[in-house]
Amino acid sequence: MRGDSPRYALGTALLAKRTVPTEHCGAVVDGAVVDGAVVDGAVVDGAVVDGGYSAAIALVNVRNKRPASPTGWTAGSSRRRFAVEEETMRRRRVLAIATIMAVSMLGVAPAAAAEDGSNPAIVREGNQWHLRDSLSGGPATTSFFYGRSGDTQQMLCDWNGDGTQTPGVVRMTNDRPQWLLRNSNSGGPADYSFIYGRSGDRAVCGDWNGDGQQTPGIVRELDDGTYEWHLSYRLSGGSAGEIGVVFEFGQDQYPGDLPPAWPVVGDWNGNGYDSVGIVQGHPDGEMQWQLRDATVAGEPDFDFVYYDRGVWGDHLETHIPIVGDWNGDGQDGPGVIRGSGAVSPQWLLRDEPSAGSADHVFRYGRHLDITLSWR
- Please, what is the minimum distance in Å from the beta carbon of residue 118 to Ca ion? 8
Stretch of 11-19, 92-100, 164-172, 237-245 contacting Ca ion, by CB under 5 A = 164-172
- Report how far apart, in Å, the C-alpha atoms of 50 and of each of 46, 57, 185 are: 8, 11, 16
Contact residue for Ca ion among 186, 209, 340, 346 (CB under 5 A) = 209
Site map 271..310 versus Ca ion, x via CB under 5 A: x-x-------------------------------------
Sheet holding 142-145, edge to edge: 142-145, 128-131, 119-124, 370-374
8 Å CB contact between 62 and 20: yes
Q: Nearest to residue 302, comparing CAs of 325, 273, 277, 338? A: 277
Residues contacting residue 343 through CB under 8 Å, at least 6 positions apart: 363, 367
- Please, what is the minimum distance in Å from the beta carbon of residue 187 to Ca ion? 16
Q: Nearest to residue 295, comparing CAs of 225, 349, 372, 233? A: 233
The smaller minimum CB distance to Ca ion, of residues 253 and 271, is found at 271
Q: Which of residues 308-367 bind Ca ion (CB under 5 A)?
A: 325, 327, 329, 331
**Three-state secondary structure call for residue 256:** coil
Stretch of 32-40, 188-196, 244-252, 269-277 contacting Ca ion, by CB under 5 A = 269-277
**Three-state secondary structure call for residue 97:** helix
The smaller minimum CB distance to Ca ion, of residues 8 and 306, is found at 306
Q: Give yes or no for residue 207 binding Ca ion (CB under 5 A).
A: yes
Site map 249..268 versus Ca ion, x via CB under 5 A: ------------------x-
Handedness of CA 360, 365, 368, 370 (dihedral sign): negative
8 Å CB contact between 189 and 254: no
Stretch of 19-27, 71-79, 160-168, 314-322 contacting Ca ion, by CB under 5 A = 160-168
User: Residues binding Ca ion: what is the number (CB under 5 A)?
Assistant: 16
Site map 133..152 versus Ca ion, x via CB under 5 A: --------------------
The smaller minimum CB distance to Ca ion, of residues 186 and 340, is found at 186
Residues contacting residue 305 through CB under 8 Å, at least 6 positions apart: 286, 287, 288, 289, 355
Q: Which of residues 212-241 bind Ca ion (CB under 5 A)?
A: 213
DSSP code per residue over 4-44: G-HHHHHHHHHHHH--S-HHHHHHHHHHHHHSS-HHHHHHS
CA 221 – CA 204 distance, rounded (Å): 14
Q: Give yes or no for residue 184 binding Ca ion (CB under 5 A).
A: no
The smaller minimum CB distance to Ca ion, of residues 225 and 270, is found at 270
Helices (H), the chain: 6-17, 22-34, 38-43, 47-65, 78-105, 240-243
- Please, what is the minimum distance in Å from the beta carbon of residue 101 to Ca ion? 31
- Please, what is the minimum distance in Å from the beta carbon of residue 116 to Ca ion? 10
CA 23 – CA 46 distance, rounded (Å): 29
Contact residue for Ca ion among 85, 86, 125, 211 (CB under 5 A) = 211
Contact residue for Ca ion among 125, 162, 242, 308 (CB under 5 A) = 162
The smaller minimum CB distance to Ca ion, of residues 243 and 287, is found at 243
Q: Which of residues 21-80 bind Ca ion (CB under 5 A)?
A: none
Binding site for Ca ion (CB under 5 A): 158, 160, 162, 164, 207, 209, 211, 213, 267, 269, 271, 273, 325, 327, 329, 331
